[in-house]
Amino acid sequence: MEGASVVIVLILIFAAAMMMWHYARGEQMLERWARDNGYEIVASERRWFRRGPFFWWTGKGQEVFYVTVRTADGRNKRGWVRCGNWFLGMLVSEAEVRWDE
| Interval 43-64: pLDDT, tens | 999 988 888 888 888 878 899 9
By C-alpha distance, which of 20, 35, 100, 87 is closest to 58?
A: 87
Domain ranges of the chain: 2-99
1 pLDDT above the threshold of 60: no
The pTM score is 0.82
Beta bridge partners of 89: 85
By mean pLDDT, which of 6-10, 55-59, 61-65, 81-85 is the weakest?
55-59
Using pLDDT thresholds of 50, 70 and 90, give the confidence band for residue 6. Answer: confident
